Structure 1
Amino acid sequence: MAVVVRIPYEKVSSFRIKFFDGAESSLYRDDFHLRRDYYDSSLENSFDKFKPFELNEFIIFKCIIGSRAYGLEVESSDTDLRGFYLPSADLHWSLYGVPEQLEDQQNDECYWEIEKFIKLALKANPNILECLYTPMIVKSSELANDLLEQRDIFLSKLLYQTYNGYVLNQFKRLNHKFSKSGVIKWKHAMHIIRLLLSGITAIQEGFVSVDISKYRDSLLSIKNGEVSISEVNKWRLSLHEEFEISYKKTSLPDLPNYKKANEFLIKARKQMVK
């Protein structure tokens, strides 16, 4: 073990190192490694040996969202799988921790760690709320069913901010790009309108309508570029107006039920303690 007693300065490019026995030596940067880096790499190497634990076995909820759940699928549509997983206490409490999400981009799969999933739901994240309300469930444990039965605890007036605010921001970008290049991502434009329709239903009825097939023809016309951007914008503006009126009349609470969400998370964690 040793300490650095002089760092490089002006024309002196070496470090002066003093060892615990009193001896000193000059070393250059390439001659030694920071202890922090050594510890970090050691931890990473240990984690590589820890990987035999297959986290997919902890997935307790799996569902289909995307075009197939929206009722907007075509022959070439992918199947998007989403959900959440609940790791064992040993894994969750370990030095290595667990990832916030498990992703398989090749197969369009993504599973959030349960705490991350709940926090996103409390923020009225559209993707997460769709998971809770999609009718296309592939796998659901007893605990996951418990969460589905109280999914309305996540619905609040925050819906207006997340859905309406996101659409406003995205359409500004679309219009800006269109004014610069004349190019429109029609599929993206379609999904922005779909989000508005879904958000309006949620704030009016207290239910996230994932299946939007009654608007299928109109939405696919946008996706296929069969309508002008001005027509899309006109529809969008009318939906924004309806959203704002619905927001003022909604019976949804100002905020989601943090207490019940927290109680559920604690219950879930306790189940994984051996």
Structure 2
Amino acid sequence: MINAADEALVRDHTVYACVMGSRAFGLATQDSDTDRRGVFLAPTPLFWRFEKPPAHVEGPAPEQFSWELERFCELALRANPNVLECLHSPLVESLDDTGRELLALRGAFLSRLAHGTFVRYALGQRRKLEADVRVHGAPRWKHAMHLLRLLASSRDLLRTGELRIDVGEAREELLAVRRGEVSWPEVERRMNRLAEENDEAAARSPLPPEPDRAAVEDLLVRARQASAGRSPGHCALTPYGDRPTRP
């Protein structure tokens, strides 16, 4: 259960909040949960104590997870798939000035490192699916759908230099996988093809070999400095309204 101090960090110091999961991917069904992700900026004075603020907080709402800005940036610079996709959600719920800077800088996190991290993550998920087939005779089809989605998203990122997470016209094809209407051998064939296309795209990708760490660090330092001059209870969160909107 979340404690009061951590809840206050998320409530009072969130700089960016969005919806992720099936709703952001364009794959939501009637039964889909609403997965919320966010970034909070812990007040700088909290880092002057022996006990530091948390790097992440689960909650307070169900299916809600937030990272402290520094941890979020560290993971994004390493091309963590979940974090990079969070930066590119089409469903933004709230944003303050620091959050706007973070989104404006999201291209600085993108690099050819994504080839290794996305494909490696997909390979780990594929091994779990193969274990399901061996033990239960079938994979978890929802996970198979998302693996195909991730590989296609990674391929397109490497080809174009842009990360788009909404599946668009591929929605019905992917939902057919989720419903178990596509055989496992066919799903494997698609996975193999997408993995090969990722490798081919990486070889001639317009992405830089490394992210722009200096630009990201500049944002973090300025955010810490600004926070140091504010009262601990300061909050500049600007709601986007009742419905999530695109940044």
When normalised by structure 2's length, the TM-score is 0.87
Distance in 1 between residues matched to 2:135 and 2:36, nearest whole Å: 36
SS at match of 1:272: helix
Partner of 1:55: 9
Extract unaligned runs of 5+ from structure 2. Answer: 230-247
Extract unaligned runs of 5+ from structure 1. Answer: 1-47
| Structure ranking higher on relative contact order (CA contacts 8 Å, 6+ apart) | 2
Check whether the contact 2:119–2:151 (CA below 8 A) recurs between aligned residues.
Answer: yes
Partner of 1:4: none
SS at match of 1:107: coil
**Aligned partner (choices 116, 131, 137) of residue 176 of structure 1:** 131
CA shift at 1:79, angstroms?
A: 1.1
SS at match of 1:267: helix
Structure 2 CA distance for partners of 1:53 and 1:213, relative to 1, 3 Å: closer
Q: How does 1:16-55 map to 2 (within 5 A)?
A: 51=5, 54-55=8-9
CA shift at 1:106, angstroms?
A: 5.3
1:166 aligns to 2:125 (yes or no): no
CA RMSD of aligned residues (A): 1.7
Structure 2 CA distance for partners of 1:125 and 1:52, relative to 1, 3 Å: closer
Structure 2 CA distance for partners of 1:106 and 1:148, relative to 1, 3 Å: closer
Partner of 1:226: 181
**Aligned partner (choices 35, 41, 48) of residue 80 of structure 1:** 35
Partner of 2:197: 242
Q: How does 1:93-172 map to 2 (within 5 A)?
A: 93-104=48-59, 107-172=62-127
Check whether the contact 1:72–1:213 (CA below 8 A) recurs between aligned residues.
Answer: no
Distance in 2 between residues matched to 1:232 and 1:213, nearest whole Å: 19
SS at match of 1:211: coil
CA shift at 1:87, angstroms?
A: 1.1
CA shift at 1:80, angstroms?
A: 1.0
CA shift at 1:164, angstroms?
A: 1.1
Partner amino acid, structure 1, of 2:139: I
When normalised by structure 1's length, the TM-score is 0.78
Distance in 1 between residues matched to 2:150 and 2:49, nearest whole Å: 39
CA shift at 1:172, angstroms?
A: 2.4
Partner of 1:43: none
**Aligned partner (choices 157, 163, 179) of residue 202 of structure 1:** 157
CA shift at 1:52, angstroms?
A: 9.1
Q: How many residues align?
A: 226
CA shift at 1:105, angstroms?
A: 7.1
CA shift at 1:145, angstroms?
A: 0.6
Output one character per residue of 1:161-188: Cα deviation in whole Å (capped at 9) or x when no partner. Answer: 0111111222123223312331311111
